[in-house]
Structure 1
Amino acid sequence: MQEEIITFPLDNSTFLRVLSNSFREFLESGTSRSTAKLKPLHGAIAQDLAERLGSDYVVFSQGYKEGKEVKIKGRYIDKAVDITVKKGNIAVAGLSVKFVMQNYSQNSNNYFENMLGETANIRSGNCPYFQIFIILDKLPYYKRSGELHKWESFTEHNAEKYVILSRDNSEIYFHTPNKTLIYIVHIPENDDLRNSEQYMDYYKSLNPSLSLTEHDYNHFGNGVILNDYESFIDKVYHTIMAL
């Protein structure tokens, strides 16, 4: 399965190619629990951030240089973070990345509550923290047997809690990320697929490139950036440089 070539710095179209590569790794691994899909995604964001920040900073992530996560000291517990930025020996920022490809509804609240908890822990330890949440606009919901039970859509109802979050004052509420990127993407649909094996085989043969969703969502406040990686990473950069 051919991967798309990635050049740096990442812009919005290149970021979509990164996501396409991550989706292809997911198809090759055959499971959403594999860390293989994370490496092209986390590694590309880490490299992009490292090149923007320059040699005074060191970035740690799967898929980039040493290929490892490191822990950030939290208020309550130390937490291994998807992407960590250090200046000297001090962590100056962390980024969490979530890419949801299946069985969203049963985990929707857990994803959100975990995000709030880990953000509060890190930010209360005096380290800026950012969130990236990526999801297909239409995704399969499987039974334990692997049967494709139904197709789910990421709806305005699903987005509503993020809309509320986007209007929080992050200087007051430490459970609120310094900035959140929500990226909602689309792949060609096929309602004839009946199980996870057919899904994997079909999309491997299709070798799809992801595109941005055409669905309109509720208006987000300043805390959330929708489908604009360039604006998000610019906010991350300027937050770190202002420390």
Structure 2
Amino acid sequence: MDLENSFLNAISESFKAYDKYGARSNKKLIPIHKWFAKVIENKLGDRYYTKCLGNGGEYKLNGKYYPKNLDISIFNKETDKLVATISFKFVTSNYKQNANNYFENLLGETANIRRVNVGFAHFLVLRGHTPYYTKNKGNLRGELKKIELISEKDLMKYIKLYNDLDFPHKPNVLGIALIDFDDSENAYFVDLDSMKISEEDIGKINKILEKAGFSNEKINEINKKLKEVGFSEADIEEIEKELKKAKIPKKDIKEINKFLNNIGFSEKGIKALNEMSLNKFIKRVVGLCQLMD
């Protein structure tokens, strides 16, 4: 079985464990953590070994700022030196509500580990169509309120981090996968091309911009940016200000704000995600282990 299909099988197992045991149980992590450990060991060869849940247990590292149980730890077999670790995050629901917390925690975790000279890789898995549940007691799942679409704006901070200069808060290796599940809870990769900004989307935006008195030149400039490089939060705020100046009804402004916050991926966004794909991530982790050894 190839790398991608075996990964999807492991994610499916993890998701079924999440459904069975709940969000707080670490049983949902075992299949996918073991998958990463096994793949990396096979790629690196006999000189290395790994530890994770279900495979020797999590290794506790005394980081620069606080102790940390590592998801997947990679060691040199001869010296027992910890050379690198893989941090794994699979967000099953309510991503947008917690997105900033996830990102800020990643920055802190990265610095804590990299500052003690251990290689750090992070792999993030998101659902293209993410359920949003109300809060419930304990380990119980709340009521399904809506389905949220992952947009380029939601991942912009990770893309910026990937392209950032090499500082201690930046992972040595960063990867992202967008997946969904079929009715049998089997995972599949989201087709990124299907998430591109469509001409229909552009048409909806143009109608509101024309109504607000935007010039054809400005509308064409916005269209080009949306298609080629995507919109940031600052871009959306700028358009909102222009719409308010034009005294566009609040209802219409709210509609376009919601639309722009959930719009599909630009060419640049898709290219960035392809650069952080699973296959490239694994290759870079192998290179990182050899570099840090």
Who is 2:10 aligned against? Answer: 18
Equivalent position amino acid for 1:92 in 2: V
Who is 1:213 aligned against? Answer: 190
1:186 to 180, 192, 195: 180
Distance 1:223 1:92 in 2: 27
Q: CA deviation at 1:235?
A: 0.7
Q: CA deviation at 1:25?
A: 1.5
Q: CA deviation at 1:78?
A: 2.6
Corresponding residue pairs, total: 213
Report if the CA contact (8 A) 2:61-2:69 is conserved. Answer: yes
Pick the structure with more helix per residue.
Answer: 2
Q: CA deviation at 1:13?
A: 2.2
TM-score (norm 2): 0.67
1:80 to 51, 54, 69: 69
State percent identity of aligned pairs: 32
Residue aligned with 1:55, SS: coil
2:119 counterpart of 1:128: yes
Residue aligned with 2:96, SS: coil
Report if the CA contact (8 A) 2:174-2:276 is conserved. Answer: no
Cα 1:221–1:157 change in 2 (3 A) is closer
Who is 1:71 aligned against? Answer: 60
Equivalent position amino acid for 1:168 in 2: D
Q: CA deviation at 1:106?
A: 1.9
Structure 2 gaps, min length 5? 137-141, 197-264
Distance 1:42 1:63 in 2: 8
2:279 to 225, 230, 237: 230
Distance 1:90 1:50 in 2: 15
2:165 counterpart of 1:169: yes
Report if the CA contact (8 A) 1:132-1:182 is conserved. Answer: yes
Cα 1:225–1:89 change in 2 (3 A) is farther
Deviation string, structure 1 residues 150-190 (Cα, Å, up to 9, x no partner): 211211110111111111122xx1100011110110124xx
Q: CA deviation at 1:39?
A: 0.4
1:138 to 118, 121, 129: 129
Deviation string, structure 1 residues 121-172 (Cα, Å, up to 9, x no partner): 11111111000100111121111241112211211110111111111122xx
Residue aligned with 2:60, SS: strand
Residue aligned with 1:125, SS: coil
Distance 1:221 1:153 in 2: 15
Cα 1:175–1:40 change in 2 (3 A) is same
Distance 1:220 1:168 in 2: 15
Cα 1:35–1:211 change in 2 (3 A) is same
Residue aligned with 1:36, SS: helix
RMSD of equivalent CA atoms: 2.1
Distance 1:222 1:185 in 2: 17
2:5 counterpart of 1:28: no
TM-score (norm 1): 0.80
Who is 1:151 aligned against? Answer: 147
| Higher gyration radius (CA) | 2
Report if the CA contact (8 A) 2:152-2:269 is conserved. Answer: no
2:33 to 42, 51, 64: 42
Cα 1:223–1:53 change in 2 (3 A) is farther
Q: CA deviation at 1:208?
A: 2.6
